[in-house]
Amino acid sequence: MIARRMAKLDSSGIRKVFDLAAAMQDPINLSIGQPDFDVPDPVKDAAIQAIRNGHNRYTVTQGIPQLHAALRKHIIKHKHFDPESLLITSGVSGALVLAFLVLINEGDEVLIPDPYFVMYKHLVNLCHGAPVFVDTYPDFRVTAERLRPHITPRTKMLLLNSPANPTGAVTDRAELEKIAALAKKHNLLIISDEIYDFFSYDARPFSIGSIYPHTLVMGGFSKSHAMTGWRLGYVTGPHGIVGEMTKLKQFSFVCAPSFAQIAGVKALETDTSHYCDQYRRKRDLIYEGLRDAGYEVEKPGGAFYIFPKVPWGTDQEFVAEAIRHKLLIIPGSVFSERATHMRISYAATDDTIRRGVAVLKALIRRGPAK
């Protein structure tokens, strides 16, 4: 009865840990990929007022004009390009689903730097494409040099995610220029997932969309304004592609939540930069704690994840032992073709981070349970 395409999908390893968290008493939860702060009050107030004012019905599929105008202004100011076309989506996840369904034919190869956001691999498989993994270990840098050997006549697109989930790695402008030149040479579409660009700690984020027009740039409000449950994102790119995505959206998502679109305008006016400063400090707290404990770990430049190597066993074995000590983290193989690392989210209170580091220090000394 079940369609064969579903065999290409595995249950999310992240959701399994979330289920454990719900059943566990006082867990040390460093697994969840959402900010530990709440939606700013002015944005909540705008949403409540929108609901009371009757903004509860369908909107036009492409999104309300006032959010389009505010986003275009935001993108010009912060990403330094004027979008050719713009579509409001149900989160970046919704943008990815639409893009893959519109673009991927059976057998099309999609370059995915490894480690990768868990959704990329499974959506490519669902669309009968061929994921081609580009190893970026041990420093997690996505470079033109690493990408080049994997390009074939069947390569159609490249997925970029900077700052990255799960590693926190940031691809700088110099490298993005080389990647853009490589993509132009081979006529590749780039999908640039920039949902974490708000959390960039050591340098200003740079969008490849500003130098390579054949790019779908995706962003949203889930991380910068903690609006994870509001499902509000956007995609910019060439008219022809975004137009087809809009057509498909009419027969799938229909529109992004109406009240959230109204509140999104207010969110773009609401300064949350102090949270970035707080998370830079959290990044330093967990990085220094892990490094001092003896973990092999790269310092993340953005997002709110760190991806250390497990000190013994496989990632599944180490994470299972951590969970026995009430520490919830994610096995690296959820995000990778390797089973050697773990993802830790530091979107948590300082106390939770310190408690988590204490458990990890004990585990590196103790080793696996006998």
Q: What is the CATH number of the domain that holds 200?
A: 3.40.640.10
Q: Is residue 219 part of a domain?
A: yes
**Spatial distance between the Cα atoms of 337 and 334, rounded to a whole number of angstroms:** 8
Average pLDDT over residues 101-106: 98
Confidence bin at 24 (pLDDT 50/70/90):
confident
Please tell me the predicted confidence (pLDDT) of residue 354. Answer: 98
Q: Which pTM was predicted?
A: 0.94
Q: Are 148 and 308 in contact (CB under 8 A)?
A: no
Which of 272, 342, 364 minimizes the C-alpha distance to 37?
Answer: 272
Identify the domain containing residue 106 by its residue range.
Answer: 57-268
Q: Is the pLDDT of residue 96 over 70?
A: yes
Residues 346 and 307 in one domain: yes
Q: What is the pLDDT of residues 268-301, one digit of tens each?
A: 999 999 999 999 999 999 999 999 999 999 999 9
Q: Is the pLDDT of residue 4 over 90?
A: no
Domain C-terminal end among 249, 268, 287: 268
Residues 355 and 245 in one domain: no
Average pLDDT over residues 40-49: 98
Please tell me the predicted confidence (pLDDT) of residue 3. Answer: 87
Q: Is the pLDDT of residue 140 over 70?
A: yes
Confidence bin at 350 (pLDDT 50/70/90):
very high
Q: What is the pLDDT of residues 236-268, one digit of tens each?
A: 999 999 999 999 999 999 999 999 999 999 999
Pairwise pLDDT comparison (19 vs 260), residue with the higher score: 260
Please tell me the predicted confidence (pLDDT) of residue 15. Answer: 58
Confidence bin at 8 (pLDDT 50/70/90):
confident
Pairwise pLDDT comparison (208 vs 5), residue with the higher score: 208
Mean pLDDT of the chain: 95
For 1-15, 78-92, 171-185, which range has the lowest pLDDT when averaged over its residues?
A: 1-15
Residues 188 and 72 in one domain: yes
Name the β-bridge partners of 113: 134
Apex 337 CA angle, 334 and 341, nearest 5: 60
- Decide the pairing of beta strands 305-306 and 342-345: antiparallel
**Spatial distance between the Cα atoms of 35 and 222, rounded to a whole number of angstroms:** 8
Please tell me the predicted confidence (pLDDT) of residue 368. Answer: 59
What token pair was written down for 207?
A: 């969008």
**In this structure, what CATH number is given to the domain that contains residue 318?**
3.90.1150.10
Helix (H) or strand (E) holding 93: helix 91-103
Percent of residues in the chain assigned helix, strand, coil, to nearest 5: 45, 15, 40
pLDDT-above-90 percentage for the chain: 90
Q: Is the pLDDT of residue 13 over 60?
A: no
Whether omega for the bond prior to residue 65 falls within 30 degrees of 0, making it cis, is no
Residues 355 and 224 in one domain: no
Residues 88 and 128 in one domain: yes
How far lies 230's CA from each of 185, 262, 313, in Å? 39, 11, 39
Q: Is the pLDDT of residue 55 over 70?
A: yes
**Spatial distance between the Cα atoms of 275 and 271, rounded to a whole number of angstroms:** 9
Please tell me the predicted confidence (pLDDT) of residue 11. Answer: 62
Q: Are 201 and 276 in contact (CB under 8 A)?
A: yes
Residues 247 and 334 in one domain: no
Backbone torsion region of residue 357, taken as left when φ is above 0, otherwise alpha when ψ lies between -120 and 50, otherwise beta: alpha
Torsion angle (degrees, nearest 10) of CA 163, 168, 174, 180: -50
